[in-house]
Structure 1
């Protein structure tokens, strides 16, 4: 009999639900049962179905790694806390840990390094992100647990019980898929910009940040209905539509900046869209675009081994229709009559020593002079201006 019950919190966007469930089943030998619960319900009735000494509430956007539950249970017992959370890319504060990986195997390697480097370490905290929290049933006895899942960690803390973070456990959150602040993109927007078009704005996190920092108008375009609804609460206007068929009601020169972060690779015809949008830039306007780098080592390695496996997120995201290198990405943007005036690489974990591979390629008369540098680049940011 297992010692752990996992309650999966189901949200409106179920695109990562199967990845979450598969990771739990494959990586949790302590698992006794899985209970699925809509995110907007209270867990009061759920507790009556749980007989295990430990229970974890996990968003369906979270993927776990081998050993996660065992480490968190051990840390919970050792710390004397009533609830404990992991490190994750999807949280703020003490739980935040940026990941330098691009695929599932990279995530697992990254999580394993954290487990080894920080074995047994915990930290007491005042709050926990509700995306993944493990509770001790014994320590919660008698406090009337009927708070909504998002409020449950705070409810436990307000009852005088302790919270902690397992610093040796890392889980990946796909929740940031539509909610990325992208400070490196924000840094490229001209300080004088007063009106911005954010294509593929997601939940409006980037534009919302801009509006808190500057006097600026931000107009978004987003196809996902849930994300568009959220963006509509923070941006000045949101067009909920497929940008490839949308006719925007703005004259030429309407925008000081157009942001296309993580969008062009999803399109059927990014060349055509860029050609239609570039005239909307003012004479001093700027286009800021980001594109995954298909020359990253994680992809090159797979090709050399005969693999091209689509994933829930990353460079080989299964929703990506187009793939670019640094040079072909620049050619894409310049095909719309723009001039690329800056390129910034966003790097992840570096590749192994590629000296032998480079030498073999040179023996085949291949130009691989930039391979070593570009193999660590997960994504390129392009800054472009009208010609």
Structure 2
């Protein structure tokens, strides 16, 4: 990992400026697909979460019987998560770090609504790949973009709000099924499955992507 990819004071200041004020409400429509991905492989016991926010998903998966270590680059988010779920394991860490060297190998890696915020998603994909044991499972989610949804946003006049140009820490990557599949395939993942979630299929809020490390 080069110096350009390690954490700097400027990076930490930006990470800690991200305030996670409310629990992740998107879990209501993401969780069924997440659990489907985990339950497809009955050997999964240990789960690493990248970008845990205030810890809702980590807590839910722990209650399901998984051993979960959850990470986030925001000091304030980790402090809040530890306060809310004191028995859960949380660590301050970034997807741009060599997480494998620090935390070892895991049966599954999950990351919900994170990759659309990242300037360098290829590093994220490689980080997740290295974290996984052979035959491990990656499960990520990101807002869905496709022709009919984009057309509906344009016709409704909500495109500016959707693209979050005036919002700090908003979305900077807008993934389609094709582009997210190419990203993960280039990183070495196989058997990529995409499940659209929230709303009707053409206007889905998000997509949950399940992929395997050979």
Contact map agreement 1:179 1:203 (CA 8 A) in 2:
no
Matched, 1:250 2:103: yes
Q: 1:242 to 1:279 in 2, by over 3 A?
A: closer
Q: 1:258 to 1:15 in 2, by over 3 A?
A: closer
Matched, 1:383 2:202: no
Q: Equivalences for 1:168-179 in 2 at 5 Å?
A: 175-177=22-24
Structure having the higher helix fraction is 2
What residue number does 2:78 align with?
228
Contact map agreement 1:333 1:340 (CA 8 A) in 2:
no
Residue deviations 1:89-126 (CA, integer Å, cap 9, x gap): xxxxxxxxxxxxxxxxxxxxxxxxxxxxxxxxxxxxxx
Count of matched residue positions in the alignment of Structure 1 and Structure 2: 188
Instruction: Report how far residue 309 of structure 1 moved.
Output: 0.6
Residue deviations 1:239-297 (CA, integer Å, cap 9, x gap): 224332x332034xx10000011111110111122112202211121000112112264
Q: 1:265 to 1:198 in 2, by over 3 A?
A: same
* TM-score, normalised relative to structure 1: 0.43
Structure 1: 4+ residue segments shifted above 4 A: 13-16, 304-307
Matched, 1:183 2:183: no
| SS of 1:243 mapped into structure 2 | coil
| SS of 1:309 mapped into structure 2 | helix
Instruction: Report how far residue 298 of structure 1 moved.
Output: 4.8
Runs (5+) with no aligned partner, structure 2: 1-16
What residue number does 1:345 align with?
196
Distance 2:147 2:87 in 1: 34
Instruction: Report how far residue 203 of structure 1 moved.
Output: 1.7
Residue deviations 1:156-215 (CA, integer Å, cap 9, x gap): xxxxxxxxxxxxxxxxxxx3347846422133213332211101112221111222221x
Matched, 1:201 2:48: no
RMSD: 3.2
Contact map agreement 1:199 1:221 (CA 8 A) in 2:
yes
Larger Rg: 1
Matched, 1:238 2:83: no
What residue number does 2:69 align with?
219
Distance 1:204 1:15 in 2: 13
Runs (5+) with no aligned partner, structure 1: 1-12, 17-60, 62-174, 351-372
Distance 1:14 1:331 in 2: 29
Of structures 1 and 2, the one scoring higher in RCO (CA 8 A, sep 6+) is 2
Distance 2:26 2:173 in 1: 22
What residue number does 2:7 align with?
none
Distance 2:181 2:94 in 1: 24
Distance 1:192 1:230 in 2: 31
